[in-house]
Amino acid sequence: MRDNENDRVDGSRRNWLIATSVASGIGGVATVVPFVASFAPSEKARAAGAPVQVDITGLEPGSMMTVAWRGKPVWILNRTARMLADCKKADPELADPHSEHSFSLPLPDYCNNEYRSRAEHQNILVAVAVCTHLGCTPTPRFQEGPQANLPDDWPGGFLCPCHGSTYDLAGRVFKNKPAPQNLDIPRYMFTSPTQLVIGKDEKGEA
């Protein structure tokens, strides 16, 4: 008789433990799911890496605009014929004139040329404005000739104010400077003569 009572007690206890465990598990799942969901990227974070549409209708020859893409400044420079000639003039003084050593982005095939731009819009330079030395933003120094912190035969380009690295008007670094590589060129494409998209090309999004 006592054995039957003990069996009933053990059975009741076992059922209680199972029920408690299941309830705890459900509670645990209810707690964990919102926590894991909090790791999903926000709409703002997704937008930060999305392609950027830019209207360059008002970008006059010799002028530049800056837009943000993936949290970084990107230059869009409308180079004049003189500025394109200055790119050729700079060739002998450059550390990597043919952009054989990329920085953080591979050079798009369509920009693998002296001007580092699309052939159908060779005057338009699109470059990430982040110095390849320590990440400062260079400043435009388009005027040719001698000036402060630049050589007397300066052909025009960009000067990094942090440690003196210089780049030509195609974003290529000059020799013997702290910066080890040329500026990054992102993937981009034109959707019309005055509209371009940064972070996307014929192959898809970057």
How far is C-alpha 138 from the geometric centre of its chain's CA atoms?
16
Can you tell me the mean pLDDT for 170-188?
A: 97
Q: What's residue 200's pLDDT?
A: 95
Q: What is the CATH number of domain 46-205?
A: 2.102.10.10
Q: Which residues touch 165 (CB under 8 Å, ≥6 apart)?
A: 131, 132, 133, 138, 159, 173, 174, 177, 178, 179
Distance (Å, rounded) from C-alpha 40 to C-alpha 93? 47
Alpha-helical regions (H) of the chain: 2-37, 43-48, 81-90
- Whether 146 has a pLDDT exceeding 60, the answer reads yes
Residue 18: its pLDDT value, please?
46
Per-residue pLDDT averaged across 3-16, rounded?
Answer: 50
Residue-wise pLDDT tens digits, 82-132: 999 999 999 999 999 999 999 999 999 999 999 999 999 999 999 999 999
> Secondary structure of the chain: what % helix, strand, coil (to 5)?
30, 25, 45
- Other beta carbons within 10 Å of 201: 19
Contact 159, 172 (CB under 8 A): no
User: What are the structural domain ranges in the chain?
Assistant: 1-40, 46-205
Mean pLDDT, residues 70-81 taken together: 97
* pLDDT tens by residue, 26-66: 344 333 334 334 344 345 544 567 999 999 999 999 999 99
- The predicted-structure confidence for 14-33, as pLDDT tens digits, reads as follows 554 444 444 444 344 333 33
CA angle (28 as vertex; 22, 33 as ends), nearest 5: 130
Query: Structure tokens of 111?
Result: 């920009």
